[in-house]
Amino acid sequence: MTRFLSLEALAGLIPDGAHVAIPPDYSFVAMAATRALIRRKARGLRLLGVPTTGLQADLLIGAGCVAEIEAAGVALGEAGLAPRFNAAARAGAIAIKDTTCPAVHAALQAAEKGIPFMALRGILGSDLVARRSDWRRIDNPFEGGEAGGDPILLLPAISPEIALFHSPVADREGNVWIGRRRELVTMAHAARRTFVTVEKVVEESLLASEASAAGTLPSLYVSMIAEAPRGSWPLGLGDDYAADGAHLVAYADAARSEDGFVGYLEEFVFPHVY
CB crowding 193-222: b at 16 or more within 10 Å, else e: bbbbbbbeeeeebbeeeeebeebbbbbebb
Instruction: For residues 141-169, give the mean pLDDT.
Output: 88
CATH topology of domain 3-100+159-268: Glutaconate Coenzyme A-transferase (3.40.1080)
Beta-carbon neighbour count of residue 272 at 10 Å? Answer: 13
Report the percent of the chain where pLDDT is more than 70: 97
Task: Categorize the per-residue pLDDT at 189 as very low, low, confident or very high, splitting at 50, 70 and 90.
Answer: very high
Residue spans per domain, the chain? 3-100+159-268, 117-156
Q: What percent of the chain has pLDDT over 90?
A: 93
Please give the average per-residue pLDDT across 94-120, as a whole number: 97
Largest CA distance in the chain: 65
Per-residue confidence (pLDDT) for residue 272, from 0 to 100? 56
CB 80 within 8 A of CB 56: no
150-157 mean pLDDT = 95
Q: Which among 39, 32, 17, 59 is positioned nearest to 232, based on CA atoms?
A: 32
Q: Which long-range contacts (CB under 8 A, 24 or more apart) does 178-184 make?
A: 178/28, 178/215, 178/216, 178/217, 179/215, 179/238, 180/215, 181/23, 181/27, 181/28, 181/238, 183/23, 183/24, 183/27, 183/50, 183/51, 183/105, 184/23, 184/27, 184/28, 184/217
Whole-structure pTM value: 0.95
pLDDT band for position 274 (cuts 50, 70, 90): very low
Q: What is the mean pLDDT of residues 29-41?
A: 98
Q: Is the pLDDT of residue 228 over 90?
A: yes
Average pLDDT of the residues of the chain: 95
- Return the CA Rg of the chain: 19
Mean pLDDT across the stretch 150-176? 97
pLDDT digits (tens, 9 = 90+) for 37-52: 999 999 999 999 999 9
pLDDT digits (tens, 9 = 90+) for 246-260: 999 999 999 999 999
DSSP state of 81: B
